[in-house]
Amino acid sequence: MSMMEPQQISQGWTVFEILQKYPGTRQVFIEKKTLCLGCYVARFCSLREVARVYKLETETLVDEIRQAAINKTNQHSKE
């Protein structure tokens, strides 16, 4: 699986795609009090849908996911 740049994450990405490529983003889902981790529809549910269901601002959620992915990616490259 090739590593895509975190900046490419968009509201159309599914929770599953994001967690597979950037496991460090799970903290954002926890902090937002979503039930996405372990949810059986995470494979199909996009960030747009997560934002709608949990009444979150879509672009803010996407930005926070991107930032978490960047931070975790940078941490791994420094180790």
Q: Which residue has the tokens 């795609």?
A: 17
Structure confidence by residue, pLDDT tens digits, 17-72: 999 999 999 999 999 999 999 999 999 999 999 999 999 999 999 999 999 999 87
Residue 75 has pLDDT above 90, yes or no: no
pTM: 0.84
Confidence at residue 16, expressed as pLDDT on a 0 to 100 scale: 96
Band (pLDDT 50/70/90 cuts) for residue 7 is confident
Distance of alpha carbon 42 from its chain centroid, rounded? 11
Question: 25-41 burial, b for 16+ CB within 10 Å, e for fewer?
Answer: bbebbeebebebeeeee
Burial zone of 50 (CB within 10 Å; 0-12 exposed, 13-18 middle, 19+ buried): buried
Q: Which domains does the chain have, with CATH numbers?
A: 9-74 (1.10.3910.10)
